[in-house]
């Protein structure tokens, strides 16, 4: 994705660039993990990166979600339906761990 995006954006002028959302999210992860490196790459124009201002706008557009994911509970319910009763509740077998005295 990096090489293809670089070739596509190299054809455009700096003000005419349109970034795909996947590329912006990749750049956002890069910016979060290494801010100094991202700033340096932007200053030296080594890669066609979105500006920090654009990344901030994308961050503001992401709605923060708190709590538990409903898909997780649905997957757990589906998995629990296939298990036997002792496996579902977590039975303990004292013979499985022999103790040395």
Report if residue 14 sits inside a domain. yes
Report if residue 42 sits inside a domain. yes
CB 52 within 8 A of CB 42: yes
- Give per-residue pLDDT as tens, 3-61: 666 556 555 666 667 788 888 888 899 898 999 998 998 888 777 888 889 889 888 88
Report if residue 11 sits inside a domain. yes
CA atoms within 13 A on the CB side of 45: 4
Q: Which two tokens stand for residue 95?
A: 């013979």
Name the domain count of the chain.
1
CB 9 within 8 A of CB 48: yes
- Would the pTM count as exceeding 0.85? no
The residue range of the domain holding 53 is: 1-89
- Give per-residue pLDDT as tens, 50-90: 888 988 988 888 777 777 778 888 888 888 888 777 676 76
Report if residue 7 sits inside a domain. yes
């Amino acid at each position: 994705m990096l090489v293809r995006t670089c070739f596509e954006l190299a054809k455009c002028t700096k003000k005419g660039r349109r970034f795909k959302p996947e590329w912006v999210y990749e750049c956002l992860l890069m910016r979060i993990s290494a801010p100094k490196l991202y700033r340096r790459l932007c200053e030296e124009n080594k890669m066609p990166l979105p500006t920090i201002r654009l990344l901030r706008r994308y961050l503001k557009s992401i709605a923060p979600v708190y709590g538990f994911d409903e898909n997780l509970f649905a997957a757990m319910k589906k998995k629990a339906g296939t298990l036997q009763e002792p496996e579902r509740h977590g039975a303990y077998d004292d013979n499985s761990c022999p103790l040395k005295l």
